[in-house]
Amino acid sequence: MKVYVGMSPGYTDASHVFPFAKTLLTYLDRAGIEHTDRPGTGEDVAVCVQWTPPPDVVEEMRRRGVVIVHRLDGRAKALVKVYERDDQNRCINALAHWTVFQSRYVREHTTRPCETIFGLEPPVCQTPQRGSIIYNGVDRGVFCEQGPREALEGDLRILHVAFTHGIRKGVADLVRIAELLRNNPKIRFYTIGRQDLDMAHGHLLAGLPNVTHLGVIVDRDRLARIMRSCHVLFFPSRGDYCPNTVLEAMSCGLPVWYHESGGTPELVRTDEIVAGVPMMPENPIYPLHVLREHQREFSRRAVEMVRSRFTMEHMGLAYVELFAQLLESRTAAKASPSTATGPCIA
């Protein structure tokens, strides 16, 4: 088995991170599975990530008999400002043999019409019955609760991470909470990412004495050190699809103070484990009281949540098993088209 993994050209810039591809490729390397980022080099399976590679390349791979798996992060118009990307996603998805959704929220959001500022948008995926959910995974060799820490000030350290900027990332919430707590010298906020570029509220962060902006950090080892040095991840992002930041922070032992929208609640809570507390607009500081009082227990639960559901091994094995099933179905379809079972491989 040889696997092609597509990555958006934007992620070749060192100022961006792409945890899904990094984690999947790490797993394939450790499992001894050959992979490539160049189409037409003998690949058996192609993992198309959002709009990469372009539809004409996907169509050519399909003509050569390559099994096409389309991983949908979500709707492009909610992620980036390149508005034709959803049309490209629809073309790729129509060519795909199988769709992988990174959360239940993504499946719901991409398989139904959606009202946007541009009007009513059609579904991105037309055949959800030929799809499954595989959550993102964490490389616990990097993101884990044990290991070196960074020297940070404050008795209660709250981390906010946002590598992209925009209104849905919740910088306004960060400013509001930091302002409410600015007179408590024991509580410190640390920000990683591009919060300062938020058009409406980013400039306010510099005037808050309890906020330290660390900038963009793409060194995963240092990111893990900082996470281990904090006590809580504040994640007010709206409608996030399957945020790797939440998984990485939980893997480092941070409970999550989160906005109850998008795919985030799926990661933080199950019927058995609660690893965080949702935001409460009517009483904005109360969740922090809960997390502070029960920090050790919440930290233990956060690590347990990742170990039981979101490790690199969970994710990688799920993908490899899917690839094997699809390849087996393709072989069976060629041998006996009228009796083949399993996923549809045309």
Q: Is the pLDDT of residue 77 over 80?
A: no
Helices 55-63 and 85-95 cross at an angle (nearest 10°) of 10
pLDDT tier at 335 (50, 70, 90 boundaries)?
Answer: confident
Please tell me the predicted confidence (pLDDT) of residue 15: 47
Let me know: does 233 contact 254? Beta carbons within 8 Å.
Answer: yes
Most confidently predicted of 71-85, 296-310, 329-343: 296-310
| Lowest mean pLDDT segment, chosen from 12-21, 125-134, 205-214 | 12-21
**C-alpha span between 203 and 206 (Å, rounded):** 6
Q: Is the pLDDT of residue 346 over 50?
A: no
- In total, the chain counts a number of residues equal to 346
Torsion angle of the four alpha carbons 240, 244, 248, 249, in this order, in degrees rounded to the nearest 10: -20
The helix (H) or strand (E) run that includes residue 332 is: helix 312-335
Arithmetic mean of pLDDT, 138-154: 96
Q: Is the pLDDT of residue 11 over 60?
A: no
Average pLDDT of the chain to the nearest whole number: 91
Arithmetic mean of pLDDT, 85-102: 95
Tens digits of residue pLDDT in 174-183: 999 999 999 9
Q: Which two tokens stand for residue 235?
A: 């994640």
Q: Is the pLDDT of residue 310 over 70?
A: yes
Tens digits of residue pLDDT in 105-127: 999 999 999 887 777 889 999 89
The helix (H) or strand (E) run that includes residue 100 is: strand 98-101
Q: How far apart are the first and last CA of the chain?
A: 19
pLDDT tier at 333 (50, 70, 90 boundaries)?
Answer: confident
Please tell me the predicted confidence (pLDDT) of residue 338: 57
pLDDT tier at 341 (50, 70, 90 boundaries)?
Answer: very low
CATH 3.40.50.2000 in the chain is located at 2-137+312-335, 156-309
Q: Is the pLDDT of residue 33 over 60?
A: yes
Using alpha carbons, select from 18, 8, 25, 77 the residue that is nearest to residue 244.
18
Q: Positive or negative CA dihedral for 44, 49, 54, 56?
A: positive
The helix (H) or strand (E) run that includes residue 11 is: none
- Burial of 299: CB neighbours in 10 Å, binned 0-12, 13-18, 19+: buried
Residues above pLDDT 70, as percent of the chain: 92
Residues above pLDDT 90, as percent of the chain: 77
Please tell me the predicted confidence (pLDDT) of residue 90: 94
Sorted by sequence, the CB contacts under 8 Å of residue 13 that are 6+ apart come out as none
Arithmetic mean of pLDDT, 46-57: 93
The helix (H) or strand (E) run that includes residue 291 is: helix 286-293
Q: Tell me, what amino acid is at 157? A: R
Arithmetic mean of pLDDT, 152-161: 97
CA distance to 66, 98, 127, per residue, from 338 (Å): 21, 20, 21
Please tell me the predicted confidence (pLDDT) of residue 279: 97
Let me know: does 262 contact 105? Beta carbons within 8 Å.
Answer: yes
Tens digits of residue pLDDT in 246-266: 999 999 999 999 999 999 999
**C-alpha span between 257 and 42 (Å, rounded):** 46
Level-2 CATH architecture, domain 156-309 = 3-Layer(aba) Sandwich (3.40)
pLDDT tier at 303 (50, 70, 90 boundaries)?
Answer: very high
Q: Is the pLDDT of residue 22 over 50?
A: yes
- CATH class for the domain made up of 2-137+312-335: alpha beta
The DSSP string of 41-93 is SS-SEEEEETTBS-HHHHHHHHHTTPEEEEEE-S-HHHH-S-TTHHHHHHHHH
Please tell me the predicted confidence (pLDDT) of residue 78: 61
